[in-house]
Amino acid sequence: GAGVSQTPSNKVTEKGKYVELRCDPISGHTALYWYRQSLGQGPEFLIYFQGTGAADDSGLPNDRFFAVRPEGSVSTLKIQRTERGDSAVYLCASSPGQGRNIQYFGAGTRLSVL
Amino acid sequence: GDSVTQMEGPVTLSEEAFLTINCTYTATGYPSLFWYVQYPGEGLQLLLKATKADDKGSNKGFEATYRKETTSFHLEKGSVQVSDSAVYFCALIGSGTGGFKTIFGAGTRLFVKA
């Protein structure tokens, strides 16, 4: 595709429910990143994939958060037992490889936990 | 750890005014520096970048110079337009072992009045 695609664009859920957020990176990009942007803040790093493996998941806030990238392309961020504090915009980015390459961002998924 | 500090907003200017948004950083070694822009309802877009000391990044009339001695990367534009109204994020990618995650400032909202 032309850019990083994230679905859904908006997700409303109830406290305690499970959600999945999808990211489709730019074709050929081996590196994929997830960030979380709370209202009025800059994005904060969650997890980084190089290929299929999570090279760094140090930004995941707790074990309710998990992400996969089984075929080295599409990634899914999974949140269990959602809490109101999880409400934020979840951003995905991809880049051509590891190192300090420019990261291209998707439009994000706005998650609202009621 | 690495960090970015940028001036708080909102910044309100009249059309054709001069813009400066201050950004300073803390990082070991030689990070790459970026400015991203987020227009209302849209995703993050890279505005400009600089990868080494004294480099000047420029795009769409915006400029920023990588100042190692003052650890700064201030964003400037000589004559703003209403269409420049957006949130601007200063960011870095470090040169250390974490040299893949983008560290963002909190963002500065710019309003330009006609």
Joined together, the tokens standing for residue B71 give 């650890």
Please answer yes or no on whether A42 and B4 come within 8 Å at the CB atom: yes
Distance CA B66, CA B57 (A): 8
pLDDT of the residue at B96: 66
- Average pLDDT over every residue of A48-57: 89
pLDDT digits (tens, 9 = 90+) for A28-50: 999 999 999 998 889 999 999 98
Looking at residue B41, its pLDDT comes to 79
Q: Is the pLDDT of residue B98 over 60?
A: no
What average pLDDT does the segment B34-63 reach?
93
Distance CA A65, CA A75 (A): 13
Which 8-state DSSP code applies to residue B82? G
pLDDT score for A38:
93
- Say how far apart CA A23 and CA A28 lie, in whole Å: 14
Residues 6+ apart with CB under 8 A from B55: B65, B66
- For range B19-37, the mean pLDDT: 93
A41 chain-B contacts, CB cut-off 8 A: 106-107
Binary contact (A59, B89; C-beta < 8 A): no
CA distance B8 to A109: 25
Would you state the structure tokens that stand for residue B84, as one six-digit string?
């420049």
Q: Is A15 helix (H, G, I), strand (E, B) or coil?
A: coil
